[in-house]
Amino acid sequence: MTSEDQGPAGIDTSVAHPARRYDYWLGGTVNFAADRASGDAIAAAFPRTRTAAVENRKFLRRAVSWLHAAGIRQFLDVGTGIPGAGNVHEVAPDSAVVYVDNDPIVLRYASPLMTRRTTYLEGDLRSPSSILSRAPLDFDRPVGLLLLSVLHFVEDRDSPYAHVAELVDALAPGSYLALTHGTVDHQTPAELEAMAPIMASTPGQFRSHAEVSRFFDGLSLVPPGLVSISDWQPSEPSEPAGSSEPAGPPEALRPTPAEVAMWGGIGAKP
């Protein structure tokens, strides 16, 4: 879309939004001038931003494959983003998938993909009860809850830990939480200084490994635990057996934790 585009009626495209900025980094077409300007400013401060976005999508596909191989047939994907290649319903086509996002433009572009099994809801991670009450899933059976690259948009003052706990509490035993989260754990002081202005003007909050670990309280992390997203089950066949995800690149060719700057993992609900 060009900068002249106004966007769909009723959608304010004059202010950058994470869904459209992420779409821009991934090479999508559902983004506008404000999103691209914001995306370029962040990428200038953190040049590996696009690498992180691509690696996050790869994690999504590996994680969903792993969950599917573990028997999960229901997915709740909160902060799903504008539909792109390799969405959950494509990786797990025989499963019920509920996509949730708080940007109305996501619903606009996602509607054509809705099927009997795939549903989109406009909803906010900060209102778990409103998501749970509308999601057409069987909460007596295990669910794969996906919170991928979304929790860093929820600042501590908005109680992210309580919201995640409320979502996890609603899930049956045998459910899983898959989560990725931006971090500056690996950034040098000089890099942090360069990033400071953009971080101050962009809503959200990076978290440390220890802080991200807290989202898994009460859950057991599956191997290899909470790690850099590129290092989460990258090359070995996914366990349990049966995953269709092809072997990943050898370690030397994978982006380093500092380049990706995102922690990710899957926790099992006992």
Ligand X SMILES: C[S@@+](CC[C@H](N)C(=O)[O-])C[C@H]1O[C@@H](n2cnc3c(N)ncnc32)[C@H](O)[C@@H]1O
Q: Supply the minimum distance, in Å, between the C-beta of residue 62 and ligand X.
A: 12
Decide if residue 178 touches ligand X (CB under 6 A).
no
Please return the burial class of 3, using the count of CB atoms within 10 Å of its CB with bins 0-12, 13-18 and 19+: exposed
**Closer to ligand X at the Cβ: 122 or 237?**
122
| Residue from the set 36, 58, 117, 126 that interacts with ligand X by CB under 6 A | 126
Decide if residue 97 touches ligand X (CB under 6 A).
no
Decide if residue 128 touches ligand X (CB under 6 A).
no
Decide if residue 80 touches ligand X (CB under 6 A).
yes
Instruction: Give which of 90, 22, 45, 62 is closest to 195, Cα–Cα.
Output: 45
The span from the CA of 28 to the CA of 21, in Å, is 9
What is the signed CA dihedral for 110, 114, 118, 121, rounded to 10 degrees?
50
Look at residue 121 and give its three-state secondary structure: strand
33-41, 148-156, 240-248, 254-262 -> range binding ligand X (CB under 6 A): 148-156
Decide if residue 52 touches ligand X (CB under 6 A).
no
Interface size with ligand X, residues (CB under 6 A): 22
| Residue from the set 45, 91, 96, 148 that interacts with ligand X by CB under 6 A | 148
What are the structure tokens assigned to 102, written together? 């708080």
| Residue from the set 1, 43, 46, 57 that interacts with ligand X by CB under 6 A | 57
Q: Supply the minimum distance, in Å, between the C-beta of residue 149 and ligand X.
A: 4
> Pattern 195-224, binding to ligand X, x per CB under 6 A?
------------------------------
What are the structure tokens assigned to 227, written together? 């790690």
Q: Supply the minimum distance, in Å, between the C-beta of residue 103 and ligand X.
A: 4
State how far Cα 171 lies from the chain centre: 19
Look at residue 42 and give its three-state secondary structure: helix
Longest dimension (CA), the chain: 52
**Closer to ligand X at the Cβ: 159 or 220?**
159
> Which region holds residue 52: left if phi is over 0, alpha if psi is between -120 and 50, else beta?
alpha
The span from the CA of 42 to the CA of 48, in Å, is 10
100-108, 189-197, 230-238, 258-266 -> range binding ligand X (CB under 6 A): 100-108
101-109, 170-178, 187-195, 228-236 -> range binding ligand X (CB under 6 A): 101-109
What are the structure tokens assigned to 267, written together? 């926790």
Which residues contact ligand X by CB under 6 A?
18-19, 22, 56-57, 60, 78-81, 101-103, 106, 124-126, 148-150, 153-154
